Structure 1
Amino acid sequence: MAATTMEPKARKRPRKTRTKNVSRLPAIVASQLKANQIDLTPGKEHVICPDCENWTPITGVLGTPVLVPHHTTPYRDQTTIPHRCSSSYRRIVLDTAIDGWRAELTERTEVSATVASRRPTKVLPKPKTSSVPAASQLKPAPLSAEQVRRVFRQHQERCLACMGEATNQNGQTLPCPDGERLAVTVLRLLRQEPKRQALREFFAKERRRFDREYAAAALAKRQSEWAAVLHRVRQADQLRGAVPQGARRGPEVPLVTLVPRQAAAQPEGGQLKCEHCGATESSLADAVAAGWCRITRRPHCGRCANRFPAWTRTSF
């Protein structure tokens, strides 16, 4: 009877790790980890290594669970030299039930989704742009003959047709419409330049006349306002002078004499003196009636004060 041969059958590999090496580092407790830092799916146990922060398989789940020896960088990263992680063969205590871990992971996922939906979107600041003026507010820049002439010279230096180098198939020189248009514009502006200059001078003259009329009207208004109360001021000055020197009470009202900050600018003799032309006034009331003003805290007569802008003039 012939002997029969049987095919060899491989033995089942044990789930426990074959090495007895165990890291001296303290064991990792699964209950102290977050639900998203460990995976307790049966047959696919993984955990995030606390040293290299890479997902590392757990071996020996049925015996002594330890971390599989691994490198500090992922295995797909081939740019750096691999180094053995110090947490290789590190023990891990699986004291968390699978059902509890799944419930916590599901709850954490739902809470994260809810928080993400409640979180407002980032508000981006709008760029600060100036408002575009209306068509009626646009002011075209006036053309000058010198500007157009400069553009015409630059065109002549770059244009082949203006230099006579551009020809057609028959050898005829091609004209340049752009150069012709610029030349016509230069000649037109040169003819209109005297009229434009006269118009600019007329507007400048009218502007100066308006400024003089405005200053004169302001001075006349100031003088009329002071003239309306001048008689009361003079009566008060006369009554104050009639009171005996010993019967006066309180500080004197500076109707004729100057206040302390004005006395510094007044020369000896009790008169006001203009800092510009040297004109004088006998009293403060007469100076105000004549339109005197203070400019940089110095007295100026009405004629000299009108030479300065209105915002620099201060009444007494």
Structure 2
Amino acid sequence: MATITAEPKARKRRRKTRTKNVSSLPAIVASQLKADEINLTPGKEHVICPTCSNWTPITGILGTPVLVPHHTTPYHDRTTTPRRCSSSNRRITLDTALDAWRAELTERTEVSATVASRRPTKVLPKPKTSGVAAASQLKPVPLSAEQVRRTFRQHQKQCLACKGEATDRTGQALPCPDGERLAVTFLRLFRQEPKRQAVRELFARERRRFDREYAKAAPKREAGWAAVLPAVQNADQLRRAVPQGARLTESPEVPLDRLAPRQAAAQPEKGQLKCEHCGATEASLVDAVAAGWCQITRRPHCGRCAQRFPAWTRTSF
């Protein structure tokens, strides 16, 4: 008969470890661990056990630092049978200074935060929505009595009020406004259907008549266009022959050698330029323009007198 060996269980852990036993496993070197795998804060020395990967306190800091006896599972895990870890009482060599460990831990934390900020966020695809047609592009669909009847029958199958199953507190059946509206619309379209059919037939006849007349008048229209086509082509050739900026052949010439009577009256004659304000004179128009003379209300004024008037009233010769 086979013997059944009981599974070994760990003894109850003491509150304080008072043992001189040291594990035969090689010592753990603190300098070979990452900064986030060990905690050298005074009074809170912990390290991640290389065997069970649990945070384990370090005892004997002033003498021989070792890992305290611990289980292979966290202390709060009550689902499995606790077993003692083989790295219990394992020595650890604390060859890392406290300041150097803190600096390395801070640097790793900052680098991790920077890397996390550089990671791209998940791009969610934008849902494709069809463009809404403009109001001018909408084509109204005329209602038919048959279409409304089908909608009314479908509503009756789904509506409890139309079936008579919906009642109020007193037990009376509740009316259905949607069913009533559909029924009224169906009756109205059913009564108007003969008139609508007559209108549709009238429009169809008029369309066919218009198509016949348009096809009959096509030869006359083409003949009229053929008659005026040479004149249009000749006008296009004359228009292309006119140089850019020149006058058209059909328009009269502009009289450039003489001025209009109104402009001639306003233009002073040579040797008769006299300021209306101070009486100063100029021998010629060229000298007056060079001296800054202007016209104010169509009267010549010298440059000094013209400065007394607003700029918008002064007109150069």
Normalised to the residue count of structure 1, the TM-score between the two structures is: 0.47
Q: Which has the larger radius of gyration?
A: 2
